[in-house]
């Protein structure tokens, strides 16, 4: 029931990039959030094991799309000099959400009815709905707009990220940089995964291996199955959830350390 979510996430993580190139980043985020909310609703109102697994895999479809497209969108709207820092902040936000979910589980464990697990499952739907609603407010990625020959709109979005002046040298320089990169991609012609591996083999394997080994060190065991692990360590029932909550706080705090180091280097303070 827990692991099946990853199957759905794996499938849509491969499909999200082509969809984002065809329909846009905002649409892909909106669709991923909607699918995630639908999966959460199926889980919330489940009547048995089978429907729970169906809800989990539907939520996985949403998680896969969002895990792929949100970092892409963020990198495309971020200044190059702050892109890494903002990506770190985004991931810390993910961990804050994870920690919040654990503590919500803990407080709901004091409820004696089946609402003790239906309420946490329903709350995830609210997060998905809020994210989907936000896509009607945020701008489209300027790279997608320029890539689809909407140059004026792309320039306007870039200008909005700065001081709103479309003739500003920084705005024009960023627009030109994006346009030249897109024209270079078009000159190659092939945007398939095979071409990506062929052109940027070293970068792709570096990024993939860092992600893969980060998961293979056992973090998903801690994140997904921590209550069971703590029960096997001697913590019974609610105490196991409480220990998972404390673990999530250390998890969250440790994610701030690289950002603090990066900020100190950027500000000239040093560590």
Q: What would the 3-class secondary structure string for 80-136 be?
A: HHHHHHHHHHHHHHHHHHHHHHHHHHHHHCCCCCCHHHHHHHHHHHHHHHHHHHHCC
Rounded to two decimals, the pTM is 0.85
Residue 9: what pLDDT? 92
Q: Are 175 and 159 in contact (CB under 8 A)?
A: no
134-159: per-residue pLDDT in tens?
Answer: 999 999 999 999 999 999 999 999 99
User: Does residue 153 or residue 266 have the better pLDDT?
Assistant: 153
Please state the CATH superfamily assignment of the domain spanning residues 1-136 in this structure.
Answer: MFS general substrate transporter like domains (1.20.1250.20)
Tokens (6 digits) for 207: 């990024």
Tokens (6 digits) for 184: 């270079």
Q: What's the distance, CA 65 to chain centroid?
A: 8
Q: Is the pLDDT of residue 264 over 80?
A: no
> pLDDT-derived band of residue 128, with 50, 70 and 90 as boundaries?
very high
Tokens (6 digits) for 244: 């998972």
Sign, CA dihedral 251-257-262-267, equals: positive
| Axis crossing angle, helix 49-77 with helix 25-44, rounded to the nearest 10 | 160
Q: What is the mean pLDDT of the chain?
A: 87
Give dist(CA 126, CA 42) in Å, integer.
13
Residue 261: what pLDDT? 60
> pLDDT-derived band of residue 162, with 50, 70 and 90 as boundaries?
confident
Residue 267: what pLDDT? 52
Q: Are 266 and 85 in contact (CB under 8 A)?
A: yes
Return the minimum-mean-pLDDT range out of 185-194, 224-233, 235-244: 185-194
Residue 100: what pLDDT? 92
Sequence-ordered list of residues with C-beta below 8 angstroms from that of 53, at least 6 positions apart, any chain: 1, 4
Q: Average of pLDDT values for 219-231?
A: 82
Provide the percentage of residues in the chain whose pLDDT is more than 70.
Answer: 95
Return the minimum-mean-pLDDT range out of 85-94, 138-147, 195-204, 253-262: 253-262
User: Does residue 80 or residue 254 have the better pLDDT?
Assistant: 254
Q: Average of pLDDT values for 108-115?
A: 92
Q: Average of pLDDT values for 92-118?
A: 91
Give dist(CA 108, CA 8) in Å, integer.
27
Give dist(CA 65, CA 74) in Å, integer.
14
Residue 271: what pLDDT? 47
């Amino acid at each position: 029931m827990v692991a099946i979510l990853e199957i759905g996430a794996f499938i849509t993580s491969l499909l999200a990039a082509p969809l984002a190139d065809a329909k846009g980043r905002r649409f892909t985020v909106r669709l991923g959030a909607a699918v995630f909310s639908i999966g959460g609703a199926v889980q919330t109102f489940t009547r048995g094991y089978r429907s729970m697994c169906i809800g989990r895999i539907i939520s996985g479809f949403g998680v896969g799309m969002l895990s792929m497209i949100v970092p892409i969108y963020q990198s495309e709207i971020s200044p190059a000099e702050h892109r890494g820092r903002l990506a770190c902040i985004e991931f810390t936000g993910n961990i804050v959400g994870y920690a919040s979910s654990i503590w919500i589980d803990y407080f709901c464990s004091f409820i004696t009815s089946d609402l003790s697990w239906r309420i946490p499952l329903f709350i995830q739907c609210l997060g998905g709905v809020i994210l989907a609603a936000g896509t009607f407010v945020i701008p489209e990625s300027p790279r997608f707009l320029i890539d689809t020959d909407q140059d004026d709109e792309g320039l306007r979005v870039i200008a909005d990220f700065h001081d709103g002046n479309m003739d500003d040298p920084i705005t024009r320089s960023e627009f030109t940089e994006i346009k030249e990169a897109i024209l270079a991609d078009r000159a190659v012609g092939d945007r398939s995964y095979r071409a990506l591996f062929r052109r940027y083999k070293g970068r792709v394997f570096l990024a993939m291996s860092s992600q893969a080994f980060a998961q293979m060190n056992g973090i998903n065991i801690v994140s997904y199955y921590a209550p069971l692990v703590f029960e096997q360590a001697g913590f019974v029932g609610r105490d196991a959830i409480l220990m998972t909550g404390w673990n999530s706080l250390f998890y969250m705090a440790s994610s701030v350390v690289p950002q603090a180091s990066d900020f100190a280097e950027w500000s000239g303070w040093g560590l």
